[in-house]
Structure 1
Amino acid sequence: MKDAARPETHPDKPDWHDETAVLHGDSWLSSDASVVPPIHYSATFKANSAEEFADMANTPRHPNFYTRYGNPVHKRVEAILADLEGTETALLTASGMGAISTTILALVSRGDHVIAQRRHYMSTSRLFEEVLPRFGVESTIVDQTDLEAMAAAIKPNTRLIMVETPVNPTLSLTDLRAVAALAKPKDIITVADNTFASPLNQKPHALGIDIVLHSATKYFGGHHDITAGAVCCSQAHAEKIWDMHTTLGSVLSPMDAWLLLRGLRTLSLRIERINANTLALAQWLEAQPQIERVFYPGLESHPQHALALKQMRGFGAVIAFSVKGGFDATSRFVSSLRLATHAVSLGGVETLAVHTAAMWAGTMTEAQMKTAGIEPNFVRMSVGVEHIDDLKSDLDQALNQPG
């Protein structure tokens, strides 16, 4: 049963630019005169009659029944995210992995075959390589830069292809349009993790991808103060995923949903500054004698720069680079940073940096790190909105610390 009084997207569906959508894409959902939307901090909502209660209980994703099913603040955020990604609807979860796991588990069954990339976010790789096989779902892992290998991996029972681009942490790219072209004639569902790009830099659905996922913790929240996830897709897929969502219970709290909504208001401003800062810092790093190599899709030196220009409008916050001198020199560099914070995550207002080999040494074997492209002297940096000269100065002093 559908909630006819509450369409999923703006009833007029204005053709707004992204900069306007983040501010007004949920305005049609206003229920009072508040300029700032209220927080609906209630786990449950009342019905005025038995008939109304039955309607609420049997309407998928009703925003005023029970917060595990939906919430008015969720509805507002979902309207904006669907607008940004160009999908019919969106669904919020409590984390990025909540979005990924819930989506995959909703769409595959015992006997199905799925294809995933060799390089994914670590927990995504575990889902495909360790968890799904336990439940009778076969996974084939391929090099995402090798389209022939991906095509060869397709079987009669292939149900889903999962991609991520740019990939964590090496920033290699996947050709989204080409993957969609492989999958659509065979009715294979395509899923893309768009976290590292954001919809302001890349729109996978416009390139043919069926379902777009995000760790909304990152750019959408923008302030390193919440964890959240998002699924952007068709109504048909959303109802299947929502059904699994209510079972698994990866539910975003109303307060975190409200903070996410507030973060979205400044998304376009932050992305503009972050894109500019990151490209400038990547170019500066390439010129430093202490740096072995810089990985960033916006650089001409990136092996897939032509693909980046074709499918991205901006290149995002994350730079990866190798410091000369091996593990010890890299550890000393990261420990010497004063402005950039030594912490995980990305896409927020502050610049963050991690020594990736040190971070994952306790959870990945050397062989797994090599497969993921993580060298002992590898640094991943998420660039924030600080002044670019201050960021360069901080990196410069850290690179020139005595050994």
Structure 2
Amino acid sequence: MAAITAALLALLNHGDHLLVADCVYGPMRQFCDDTLTRMGIAIDYFPPAESADLSARLRDNTRIIYLESPGSLTFDLQDLPAVAQLARSRGIITITDNSWATPIYQKPLDFGIDVVVHSGTKYVAGHSDLTLGLLACSASLFERIKPTATLLGACLAPDDAYLALRGLRTLPLRLAQHQASALRIAQWLQQRPEVREVLHPGLPEFPGHSLAQAQLRGFTSLFSFRLQPGTEAARRAFLDALDLFLIGVSWGGYESLMIPLGGSYKDDPELRARRGLDDDTFRTSIGLEDPDDLIVDLEKGLAAWRAAMD
């Protein structure tokens, strides 16, 4: 959020219009709705599926289009080259959150995006021991953003910088393992009768798979899946039976994580419906453990789910 807020506060002014993909990180949405609107900045959200042509949604005062591709709950993709081309033709700045893909598997600057933000807390750090926001852009935009970042106190400590550099040294190797294990487990989940749907951009059945193939050079550890409609007791039994998967909201470290998405946007049923979230949806980050062990753990969880449903 340090990178996101610095960029938006530096590049927006009272009376401007900000166009935002509807799949963005929850705190980013909260910052828009609570802080930017209070500053007199108009916010509109667009369905990610419309990203190939946003011309009808632009206003004369649109200053920034903000993207997150893929998103981090249901992994909606946006057409980065198309958005960048349209924005450049109108003098609009584009920003995208590239935390899911990392610079290894997606290079938004090559598509014409102006500013790229990352949660370095995730794959860059790689060990769940660092919080870090990263931002990449042209030198001219950096000179506009840097003073605001400094005034906000977004200054990285030396030890944290060291931890980020340490993580970068092994990032390609870790991502290769994350990708292989996550795809294997996603494909395994697809075959399970307890599972209704798997949301992973690397699967041919995923709605945005063709766009993922065009824009991404690989796939990472984070994806979601939907169990068959079940009871609260069955969902709890599934989670309680897991030993290797920890409950946690982050991703990108050694350990595998699992969170239920049923509580996401409970106070906004319309948004929840648009995002396709329900009580039977879970998000998982596949870590660096042996994937065979993780599959055994998931089998235990699904067995507990079945028992609770009987």
TM interval, shorter chain, is: over 0.9
Contact 2:249–2:259 under 8 Å retained in 1: yes
Residues 149 and 176 of structure 1, relative CA distance in 2, 3 Å threshold: closer
Identity %: 38
- Aligned residue among 59, 62, 66 for 1:162: 66
Q: 2:246 aligned with 1:341, yes or no?
A: yes
* Superimposed CA distance per residue, residues 66-103 of structure 1 (whole angstroms, 9 cap, x where no aligned partner): xxxxxxxxxxxxxxxxxxxxxxxxxxxxxxx1111111
Q: Which runs of 4+ in 1 moved over 6 A?
A: none
Q: In structure 2, the residue corresponding to 1:284 is in which secondary structure?
A: helix
Larger Rg: 1
Give the letter aligned to residue 230 of structure 2.
G
- The TM-score normalised by the length of structure 2 is 0.95
Structure 1 segment 226-265 matched on structure 2, within 5 A: 226-265=130-169
Instruction: Give ranges in structure 1 of 5+ residues lacking alignment.
Output: 1-96
Q: 2:285 aligned with 1:379, yes or no?
A: no
- Aligned residue among 10, 21, 30 for 1:126: 30
Instruction: Give ranges in structure 2 of 5+ residues lacking alignment.
Output: none
Contact 1:213–1:230 under 8 Å retained in 2: yes
Query: For the residues of structure 2 that align with 1:272 and 1:149, how far apart are their CA atoms?
Result: 33
Query: For the residues of structure 1 that align with 2:267 and 2:254, how far apart are their CA atoms?
Result: 29
Contact 1:291–1:324 under 8 Å retained in 2: yes
Query: For the residues of structure 2 that align with 1:371 and 1:174, how far apart are their CA atoms?
Result: 16
Q: 2:229 aligned with 1:325, yes or no?
A: yes
Structure 1 segment 127-146 matched on structure 2, within 5 A: 127-146=31-50
Contact 1:335–1:342 under 8 Å retained in 2: no
For residue 148 of structure 1, report the CA deviation from its aligned partner: 6.3
Contact 2:24–2:71 under 8 Å retained in 1: yes
Query: For the residues of structure 1 that align with 2:187 and 2:212, how far apart are their CA atoms?
Result: 16
Structure 1 segment 4-403 matched on structure 2, within 5 A: 97-147=1-51, 150-326=54-230, 328=232, 329-358=234-263, 360=264, 364-401=267-304, 402-403=307-308
Q: In structure 2, the residue corresponding to 1:244 is in which secondary structure?
A: helix
Q: How many residues align?
A: 305
Structure 1, 127-136 or 229-238: larger mean CA deviation: 127-136
Contact 2:52–2:79 under 8 Å retained in 1: no
Q: In structure 2, the residue corresponding to 1:170 is in which secondary structure?
A: coil
Residues 126 and 160 of structure 1, relative CA distance in 2, 3 Å threshold: same
* Superimposed CA distance per residue, residues 201-243 of structure 1 (whole angstroms, 9 cap, x where no aligned partner): 1111111111100000000000111100100011111111110
Residues 327 and 364 of structure 1, relative CA distance in 2, 3 Å threshold: farther
